[in-house]
Amino acid sequence: MLRTSPPLELPDDVLSFEGKKFFELVQQSCGEVFKELMEILSINAVYKLLLIENDILPVFQKKYRELEKITQRACLHLDDGAIMLKPGLRMDFDRFIKSLHAINDQKKQQKETARQSDDILSSFKNLINSYQFKESNDVGNSYSFLIAFIENIWNNLSKNKNNYRYSDIVLHFAQSLYILGGRNSYEFVRLNLPGALPALSTLNVSLEKAGACIAEADFRYDALCHHQNSLDYQISVCSEDSTAVVKKVSYNAALNTFGGFATPLEYGIPISGYFKTDSFDELKGWFENKDKSNFLNVHMMQPLIESKPYISPFLLAAYGINHKFKTIDVLNRWIWIFEKSQEANVRIVAFSTDCDARYLLAMRLTTGFFAKLTNTSIFNRNDALEIDLPTEWSAWFFMPNRQVFFCFQDPIHLCAKLRN
C-alpha cells in the first residue's frame, strides 16, 4: 500500500525566508547535510531554492571537490562507482520542497482571488457610477435600492469585516427579510452575499431601536397610539388567533424574563413579565409545576382607512397559552382591549377570531345573539353603537339596536371549513 507523508507545518511567511532563517529552516526540515549543501551552492533564500530545485540533486552525480565530504555523508556508494542519495534524506528533501510549493500555490491563489475581487469591486463602482440618476428620474427611483445595495457591498468588501457598515435602506431591507423569511432564510442569504447584510447581533440591535422587539404578553398601546397618529385613523378591527408552537423555554437577557411558559391570566388578561426571577429554586419550581405553552396567541389590529384599503395590520400583543381558559376570560379580555384602545384614540368596531366554542359563546354574549350575561349588561355602555336597522328586516335579521362592537369569524377559517 502506497503511503504519503503529511506536508510540513511551515510558517505563513516562509516564502520570504533568507539568510540565517533560511539555513535554520533547511537544517530543521532536511538535516545538517542539506544545510551545508545550500551554503556551498549559494542558495540562501526560499525563492532561489524553488527556482533551481531541479538542479540540486543532480550535483551528487558529479565529482565536485567542494562536495566530496557532503557526498560521502549523504550518499550510498556502490562497488562500480555509482552513488545514490540516501532514501531518508531524499524523502525529507522532497517533502520540504512539496510543502514549499503548496504554500507558494496557495499564495498565488490568494493573489488571484484578490485580483478578481478588485475586478469585481471595480465593476461594482463602474455600475454605481453608471446609474447615478437624479431623484426626479423615474428610472433612477426604480433602481434606487439596487444602487444602494450594490454600493453598500462595494464599500464593505474594501474594509475589514469588523468595520462593515450598512445604510438605513439596507438595514430596513434586512429587517424585512428577517421578519418575512425567518432566521434560517436570512442567514442563508447573508452567508452567500458577503458584505451585503448585517450579522444577527447587529440586526437585533436595529430591531430593538425600531421597536420591533416586543415582550411576551406586553400589549403595545403606546405604540398603537403612535401608529394611529402616524396614519391618522380612528376605527379598527381586532383579530385574535393562536397557532401551535414547539414547547421551548428561552431567556430574555434584556428583560430578565423567561419565555415559553403558559402565560397566567388575571380576569382573562395575560400578566406581562410574570416569569421573572433571580432565584434558581423558583425557576426550578416553574419547570416542575408550570405548563409550557404549546400555542402562541396573537392580537392584531387592522386599521380601517377608506383611502388606504390595503394597509398592513399592527401587532398589538403575543404570548404563549395552553388553552386552559373560559369564555368569561375571552369576554373580559376583549372589553379590556376595547377600553385601552380607546385611550389610544382607536375605536374597535369588531373582533375577529376562529371557531373555538369559547370564542363563539363570547361572540354571542357580546352581540346578544340568543345569549345574555346575567350579572351585567354590555349594551348599556355610553360608547355603544346605535344600529338603525330597516323595519322590514326584523322578521329575519336578529340584532339588538345597541352594540359595543361586532364579532365575526375569521374569513380564512370559514373558507377552510367550506373546503373541508
- How do the pLDDT tens digits run along the chain, 420 residues long? 445 667 778 888 888 888 888 888 888 888 888 888 888 888 888 888 888 777 777 887 777 888 888 888 888 888 777 888 888 888 888 888 888 888 888 888 878 777 776 776 676 666 666 655 444 455 445 567 887 888 888 788 778 888 898 988 999 999 999 988 888 999 999 999 988 999 998 888 888 777 667 889 999 999 999 989 999 899 999 999 998 899 999 888 878 899 999 999 999 999 999 999 999 999 999 999 999 999 999 999 999 988 888 888 999 999 999 989 999 999 999 999 999 999 999 999 999 998 788 999 999 998 888 888 877 778 788 888 888 888 888 888 888 888 999 998 877 767 776 776
H-run or E-run covering 411: helix 411-419
Domain ranges of the chain: 14-112, 131-209, 221-419
Integer Cα distance of 151 and 214 in angstroms: 32
Give the per-residue pLDDT at 399. Answer: 83
What is the model's pTM?
A: 0.61
The grid coordinates listed for 290 are 408550570
Note the residue count of the chain.
Answer: 420
pLDDT at residue 2, as a whole number: 46
Which letter, b or e, does each residue of 254-288 get, where b requires 16 or more Cβ atoms within 10 Å of its Cβ? eeebbbbbbbebeebbbebebbeeeeeeeeeebee
The C-alpha cell 430578565 sits at 256
Side-chain half-sphere CA neighbours of 114 within 13 A: 7
What residue spans of 193-232 are helical by DSSP H?
A: 200-209, 221-231
CB 301 within 8 A of CB 318: no
Residue 103 in grid coordinates: 504554500
Helix (H), strand (E), coil (C) string for 336-366: HHHHHHHHCCCEEEEEEECCCHHHHHHHHHH
Whose cell is 510543502? That residue is 99
List the one residue out of 363, 387, 385 whose CA is nearest residue 373.
Answer: 363
What pLDDT shows up at residue 239? 93
Angle at 179 between CA 178 and CA 181, to 5 degrees: 65
DSSP code of residue 297: E
What's the confidence (pLDDT) of residue 143? Answer: 62
CB 315 within 8 A of CB 220: yes
**Under 8 Å CB-to-CB from 15, ≥6 apart: which residues?**
46, 47, 100, 103, 104, 107
Sequence-distant (≥ 6) Cβ neighbours of residue 265 within 8 angstroms = 271, 325, 329, 333
Q: What angle do CA 359, 362, 367 make, to 5 degrees?
A: 125
Q: How far is CA 40 from the centre of its chain?
A: 61
